[in-house]
Structure 1
Amino acid sequence: MCGIAGLFHCGTIKPVEPLRIERMTDVLAHRGPDGSGVWTGPGVGLGHRRLSIIDVEGSPQPMASPSGRSIIVFNGEIYNYRELRRELEAAGEIFRTDGDTEVILAAYEQWGTECLRRLNGMFVFAIYDQSKRELFLARDRLGVKPLFLAELSDGSLAFASELKGLLAHPLLRREVDPRAVEDYMAWGYVPDHRSILRGVSKLPAGHWMLLQHDKGVPEPQQYWDISFAGRHKGKPKDLEAELLHHLQQAVTSRMVADVPLGAFLSGGVDSSTVVAFMAEASRQPVKTCSIGFDIASADETSYAQQVAELFATDHNARTVSADQFDAIDTLAGMFDEPFADASALPTWRVCQLARENVTVALSGDGADEAFAGYRRQVFHAHEDRIRGLLPSAIRRNVLGPLGKFYPKADWAPRPLRAKTTLLSLAGSAEQGYARALSVVPPEMRGALYSPDMAHKLGGYRAEDPLLELMAKAPMRSALDQAQYADLKFWLPGDILTKVDRTSMAVSLEAREPLLDHRLVEFAAGLPEGLRVHGSQGKWLLKKSMERYLPKDILYRPKQGFVTPIAEWLRGPLAGKARGIAKSAMLARTEWFDNARLAELAEDHIGGRADHSRLLWQLVMLDRSLARLGIA
């Protein structure tokens, strides 16, 4: 795993100062502490920081092809590079190194941009073709690896693995985009279609760009998308066998490394599945690690220990407590943009724990999105059936007003929390799922904003891009639509961002075998009944793993990587909750109604409502603005 950065002049050719590229990569040293390099040519500069995983002694970057025609900087891993290498050697290519970087170069020179369809991996790379004077930028199918882009005032396009790489360039404007604040307040992160700063964007997952010196910056081109429009035919037992084959291939292909390798183990279905296949393929005990909490209701370490004993792994565990939240500023610095998924803290801690023994760790991320493991996906499918039985006039004129005035009963048992369901049924399927995904619903966000902020937004709502995405989804059902939204919107914006930044902060490479694109494509074609059975998601995955895992692991209620932030903000972190409304940083923005923020904090601390996620969002927004110095 690595960090990359670079500059490319569009519309003109100007010299690129190597020191400028060096400074952009220096701030990414945590992504690659094992080596660095800079290459510049007329109108272009490429920089690299290396974390050595494969071909440790060789494969320095930037790397030139044997002919000198192409130069690459690359962040990620190509899991089928050995197969591609054999194919390319048969076509006459000669290799000087044993790694995957040179294979990408040869694949590009052999097949051009079509090489992307042959690569199986997680990656972002930049290839400068000196013969064509073109820069080829590409990102992996599902967006495991990030790439930030910015058009600068001198006519150049700057790019970097993290926003901090762009911030190292003096021409980057540090002006907040109000729409990004609205996006962040809705979702708890700034999604991939936006950046917290005006003029900064992100190369979308499954896209590439081809830049030329005599033209402006082009629109990204899509080379891959996930489709739910088809359905596999065959007996469940045959599909189960095919699924096990895909799982085995996905895991074992990600066990190739020339450095110590292990796995995150939470004790849930997904990480336990990965560890099961790792143990089957490994001659040595698999190194596993897990993080627990000092609040019993949120702690899963007993399940992780059970799985560790089952597969005789070399297991390490550690506990996270509220007093470790003195690391808030460190967290804010990892993400650059505001990021409020509170599970980032334990994710960072488990990465720290893993890094004590390994350089690469496999995770279970992606199964919920691919196999329908989230409760909200199942509820969305059930709600849509109800929506189809009720006339739109009744939904709009009866359920809508009823939901509006129904009390928000966070304290009540789940069946009595009808407000969200009523409001969801009153709107379209897309609007209902957007409400399920959001942290702060639109009516509550509107009550938080100052009149000036409302004016700046000009009617824009964070839900708009998601509604458009869902309306165009290649799908057959509401369940398909929900999974498509999670794979395209939630996964790269939240889950993969969290894992990338927290793992790279400690120079650990995280690999996600359950996001192998062949496995995801297979899962998307499963009949609905093999994804969801009654209220049970990930049905075929669980049934197929019964030969490996006990049923109390497979079928216990899903807990997820839950952080007890609500209890912390009523206890040891109550002072931070109260401090939100008094924050000088947030007050200077004039985005919010401070009296309303104070009221929300007291309601949460007093136990009258659960505003923990909103309060945590505001804490992280405040700290991010302070770190960036852009308020």
Structure 2
Amino acid sequence: MCGIAGIYHLATPKPVDPLRIERMCDALAHRGPDGAGVWTAPGVGLGHRRLSIIDVAGSPQPMASSDGRTMLVFNGEIYNYRELREELRGDGAQFHTDGDSEVILAAWQRWGQDCLPRLHGMFAFAIFDLAERTLFLARDRLGVKPLFYAPLSDGSIAFASELKGLLAHPLLRREVDPLAIDDYLAWGYVPDHRSILAGVRKLPAGHSLLLRHGAPLPAPLQWWDVSFAERRRGKPADLEAELLHLMRQAVSSRMVADVPLGAFLSGGVDSSSVVALMAEAGRDPVKTCSIGFDVAGLDESAYAGQIARRFATDHRARTVSPDDFALVDTLATMFDEPFADASALPTWRVCQLARETVTVALSGDGADEAFAGYRRHVFQHGEDRLRRALPQALRGPLFGALGAVYPKADWAPRPLRAKATLQALGLPSEDGYASAIGIVPPELRASLYSPDYLALRGDYRAEEPLINLMRNAPARSGLDRAQYADLKFWLPGDILTKVDRTSMAVSLEAREPLLDHRLIEFAANLPEGLRVRWGEGKWLLKKTMQRYLPDEILYRPKQGFVTPISQWFRGPLADVARTIGNSSALARTGWFNSQALNGVAEAHISGRSDHGRLLWQLLMLDRSMSTLGLNA
């Protein structure tokens, strides 16, 4: 895994200062502590920070093709590079290294942009063609690896693996995009269609960008998408066998490394499945790691230990306190943009533990999105059945009225918390799902904003891009559209951002075998009944893994990493919550109604309401503004 950065002049081939590229790369040193390189030519500069994983002694970057015509900087791993190398060698290509970087160069020279569908892996890369004077940027199918870019005032385009690489460029404007604030409060992160900084863009997952001298900046071109429009036919037993084959293939291909390799093990279905297949494929004990908490209700370490014993792994566990609130500023710096998924803290902790013994760790991320593993998928599946039975003209008034009068019972047992479900049933499918996955609903957001910000935001609502994405999805059902939105919106914006930044912060490469695109495409075409059945998500995946895992692992309630943020804001962070409305960097932006923020803080501290997640969002936004020195 690595960090890349570069500058390309669109209008005229002005000289590029190598020191400027070097400073951008230095800001990404955590992504690549094993080496650095800079290359410049008239109108272009490329930089690279290397974390050595494959061909440790060779494959320095920026890398030139064998004929010297093209230059590459690359972040990621190509898992089928050996097969591609043999195919390309048969066509006359010559190779001087044993790594995957040179394979990308040869594939580009052989197939041009059509090389992308042939690359199996996670990647963000830039290729400069010295003859054509073009710069080609590409990002992998699911968006595992990030890529930011921005037009600058001198006519150049700068790009980098993280926003902090762009921030090292003196011409980058540090001006906040006001619509990103509504996006962030709605979702807890800034989705990939926007950046916290006006003018900064993220290359979308499964897209590429071809830049030419003398031509305007083009729109990104989509080269991959996932379709839920078809349904696989066949007996469940045959589909189960096909799924197992694809999972074995995905795991074994990601076990190729020239450095120590291990796995995260939470004791949940997904990480346990990956560890089981690693143990089956390898000769040596799998190196696994997990963290537990000193609060019984948050601790899953016993389940991780059960799987470690079952597969005789070389297991390391550490118990940590969930009270890591002192690390807020560290998190803000790690993510650059405001990021409010509180599970980032324990994810970072398990990455730190893994890095003590391995350089590569496999995770179980992606299965919930692909196979309908979240509770919201089960609800969406059931709610859409009712939506089909009752017309919107009847359903909207009926369930809208019921949802309005039903009490918001956060304290009650889960089956009695029906307010959100009733409200969702009164909405169209897409609007209901947007409401289900959002954090701060539109009405509450509007009550927090100042009149000036409301005028600045205008008619925009953060839910609109998600709703439009679902309505235009290549899909048949509400469940299809929900999963499509998760894969295209939630996954790259939240889950993969979290794993990339926390792992790269400690120079650890995280690999996600359950996001192999062949697995994703297979899962997208499964009949709904093989994804959700009898109120259980990931049905076919769990049935497939019954030969490896016990029922108490497969069918226990999903938990995940939990951070007690609500307790923090009633305890050690209570005074911090009280300052957000008046004396923080956030208060000085003029975006918010200080009296409303103070009311939220006091209602939470007193216990009248649970606003822990909202306060965490506001705190992370405040610290990001301060850390980056951003201007409203």
Q: CA deviation at 1:389?
A: 2.1
- Tell me the secondary structure at the aligned position of residue 86 of structure 2: helix
Deviation digits for residues 33-92 of structure 1, max 9, x if unmatched? 000000111111100000000000000000000100000000000000000000001111
Q: Identify the residue that residue 332 of structure 1 maps to in structure 2.
A: 332
Q: Which amino acid aligns with 1:205?
A: A
- Tell me the secondary structure at the aligned position of residue 67 of structure 2: coil
- Tell me the secondary structure at the aligned position of residue 584 of structure 1: coil
Deviation digits for residues 314-352 of structure 1, max 9, x if unmatched? 111122324422111111001000000000000000000
Q: Identify the residue that residue 43 of structure 1 maps to in structure 2.
A: 43
CA distance in structure 1 between the aligned counterparts of 2:293 and 2:577, rounded to whole angstroms: 21
Q: Identify the residue that residue 125 of structure 1 maps to in structure 2.
A: 125
Q: Which amino acid aligns with 1:56?
A: V
Q: Is the 8 A contact 2:230 2:525 kept in 1?
A: yes
Q: Identify the residue that residue 497 of structure 2 maps to in structure 1.
A: 497
Q: Is the 8 A contact 1:295 1:564 kept in 2?
A: no
| Structure 1 residue ranges without an equivalent (≥5) | none
Deviation digits for residues 548-595 of structure 1, max 9, x if unmatched? 011100011111222222233323333333332233201111111222
Q: Which amino acid aligns with 2:370?
A: A
CA distance in structure 2 between the aligned counterparts of 1:127 and 1:165, rounded to whole angstroms: 18
CA distance in structure 2 between the aligned counterparts of 1:377 and 1:317, rounded to whole angstroms: 32
Q: CA deviation at 1:282?
A: 1.5
CA distance in structure 2 between the aligned counterparts of 1:531 and 1:405, rounded to whole angstroms: 34
Q: Is the 8 A contact 1:583 1:622 kept in 2?
A: no
1:135 aligns with 2:131: no
Q: CA deviation at 1:313?
A: 0.8
CA distance in structure 2 between the aligned counterparts of 1:308 and 1:612, rounded to whole angstroms: 34
CA distance in structure 1 between the aligned counterparts of 2:331 and 2:29, rounded to whole angstroms: 17
- Tell me the secondary structure at the aligned position of residue 40 of structure 1: strand
Q: Identify the residue that residue 469 of structure 2 maps to in structure 1.
A: 469
Q: CA deviation at 1:405?
A: 4.4
Q: Which amino acid aligns with 2:340?
A: A
| Structure 2 residue ranges without an equivalent (≥5) | none
- Tell me the secondary structure at the aligned position of residue 580 of structure 2: helix
Pair 317,572 (structure 1): closer, same or farther in 2 beyond 3 Å: farther
CA distance in structure 1 between the aligned counterparts of 2:321 and 2:391, rounded to whole angstroms: 50
Q: Identify the residue that residue 222 of structure 2 maps to in structure 1.
A: 222
- Tell me the secondary structure at the aligned position of residue 568 of structure 2: helix
Pair 294,568 (structure 1): closer, same or farther in 2 beyond 3 Å: farther
Higher mean displacement: 402-411 or 162-171:
402-411
CA distance in structure 2 between the aligned counterparts of 1:349 and 1:491, rounded to whole angstroms: 21
Q: Identify the residue that residue 297 of structure 1 maps to in structure 2.
A: 297
Deviation digits for residues 77-125 of structure 1, max 9, x if unmatched? 0000000000001111110000000000000000000000100000000
Q: Which amino acid aligns with 1:28?
A: L
Q: Which amino acid aligns with 1:467?
A: I
1:390 aligns with 2:387: no
1:101 aligns with 2:109: no
Q: Which amino acid aligns with 1:18?
A: P
Q: Identify the residue that residue 367 of structure 1 maps to in structure 2.
A: 367
1:437 aligns with 2:437: yes
Q: Identify the residue that residue 279 of structure 2 maps to in structure 1.
A: 279
CA distance in structure 1 between the aligned counterparts of 2:322 and 2:290, rounded to whole angstroms: 17
Q: Which amino acid aligns with 2:487?
A: L
1:13 aligns with 2:24: no
Runs of 4 or more, structure 1, over 4 Å off, are: none
Q: Identify the residue that residue 454 of structure 1 maps to in structure 2.
A: 454
Q: Identify the residue that residue 609 of structure 2 maps to in structure 1.
A: 609
Q: Which amino acid aligns with 1:158?
A: A
CA distance in structure 2 between the aligned counterparts of 1:504 and 1:6, rounded to whole angstroms: 19
Q: Identify the residue that residue 479 of structure 2 maps to in structure 1.
A: 479
Higher mean displacement: 377-386 or 395-404:
395-404
Q: Percent identity?
A: 73
Higher mean displacement: 404-413 or 115-124:
404-413
Q: Identify the residue that residue 159 of structure 1 maps to in structure 2.
A: 159
Q: Identify the residue that residue 556 of structure 1 maps to in structure 2.
A: 556
Deviation digits for residues 220-274 of structure 1, max 9, x if unmatched? 0001000011111111011101000000000000000000000000000000000
Q: Which amino acid aligns with 1:131?
A: A
Q: Is the 8 A contact 2:325 2:568 kept in 1?
A: no
Higher mean displacement: 601-610 or 227-236:
601-610
> For residues 181-580 of structure 1, what are the structure 2 equivalents within 5 Å?
181-580=181-580
Q: Which amino acid aligns with 2:13?
A: I
Q: CA deviation at 1:609?
A: 1.9
CA distance in structure 1 between the aligned counterparts of 2:152 and 2:551, rounded to whole angstroms: 56
Q: Is the 8 A contact 1:7 1:45 kept in 2?
A: yes
CA distance in structure 1 between the aligned counterparts of 2:415 and 2:429, rounded to whole angstroms: 21
CA distance in structure 2 between the aligned counterparts of 1:19 and 1:313, rounded to whole angstroms: 46
Q: Is the 8 A contact 1:322 1:568 kept in 2?
A: no
CA distance in structure 2 between the aligned counterparts of 1:590 and 1:408, rounded to whole angstroms: 30
CA distance in structure 2 between the aligned counterparts of 1:579 and 1:405, rounded to whole angstroms: 33
Q: Identify the residue that residue 52 of structure 1 maps to in structure 2.
A: 52
Q: Is the 8 A contact 1:261 1:360 kept in 2?
A: yes
CA distance in structure 2 between the aligned counterparts of 1:446 and 1:614, rounded to whole angstroms: 13
Q: Is the 8 A contact 1:322 1:572 kept in 2?
A: no
CA distance in structure 2 between the aligned counterparts of 1:74 and 1:238, rounded to whole angstroms: 38
CA distance in structure 1 between the aligned counterparts of 2:6 and 2:549, rounded to whole angstroms: 46
CA distance in structure 1 between the aligned counterparts of 2:272 and 2:476, rounded to whole angstroms: 31
CA distance in structure 2 between the aligned counterparts of 1:66 and 1:391, rounded to whole angstroms: 64
Q: CA deviation at 1:353?
A: 0.3
1:116 aligns with 2:119: no
Q: Which amino acid aligns with 1:518?
A: R
CA distance in structure 2 between the aligned counterparts of 1:11 and 1:211, rounded to whole angstroms: 11
CA distance in structure 2 between the aligned counterparts of 1:417 and 1:448, rounded to whole angstroms: 25
Q: CA deviation at 1:529?
A: 0.9
> For residues 52-91 of structure 1, what are the structure 2 equivalents within 5 Å?
52-91=52-91
Q: Which amino acid aligns with 2:299?
A: D
Q: Is the 8 A contact 2:372 2:537 kept in 1?
A: yes
CA RMSD in angstroms, aligned pairs only: 1.1
- Tell me the secondary structure at the aligned position of residue 569 of structure 2: helix
Higher mean displacement: 152-161 or 316-325:
316-325
Deviation digits for residues 394-413 of structure 1, max 9, x if unmatched? 33333324423443221122
Q: Identify the residue that residue 173 of structure 1 maps to in structure 2.
A: 173
Pair 500,443 (structure 1): closer, same or farther in 2 beyond 3 Å: same
CA distance in structure 1 between the aligned counterparts of 2:419 and 2:166, rounded to whole angstroms: 43
CA distance in structure 2 between the aligned counterparts of 1:355 and 1:566, rounded to whole angstroms: 30
Q: Which amino acid aligns with 2:235?
A: K
Q: CA deviation at 1:503?
A: 0.3
- Tell me the secondary structure at the aligned position of residue 445 of structure 1: helix
Pair 415,583 (structure 1): closer, same or farther in 2 beyond 3 Å: farther
CA distance in structure 1 between the aligned counterparts of 2:567 and 2:344, rounded to whole angstroms: 17
Deviation digits for residues 582-625 of structure 1, max 9, x if unmatched? 33201111111222222222222222222111111011011100
CA distance in structure 2 between the aligned counterparts of 1:196 and 1:206, rounded to whole angstroms: 21
CA distance in structure 2 between the aligned counterparts of 1:26 and 1:460, rounded to whole angstroms: 37
CA distance in structure 2 between the aligned counterparts of 1:364 and 1:299, rounded to whole angstroms: 18
Q: Identify the residue that residue 599 of structure 1 maps to in structure 2.
A: 599
Q: Which amino acid aligns with 1:77?
A: E
Q: CA deviation at 1:207?
A: 0.4
CA distance in structure 2 between the aligned counterparts of 1:453 and 1:579, rounded to whole angstroms: 20
Q: Is the 8 A contact 2:232 2:525 kept in 1?
A: yes
CA distance in structure 1 between the aligned counterparts of 2:471 and 2:497, rounded to whole angstroms: 25
CA distance in structure 2 between the aligned counterparts of 1:110 and 1:156, rounded to whole angstroms: 29
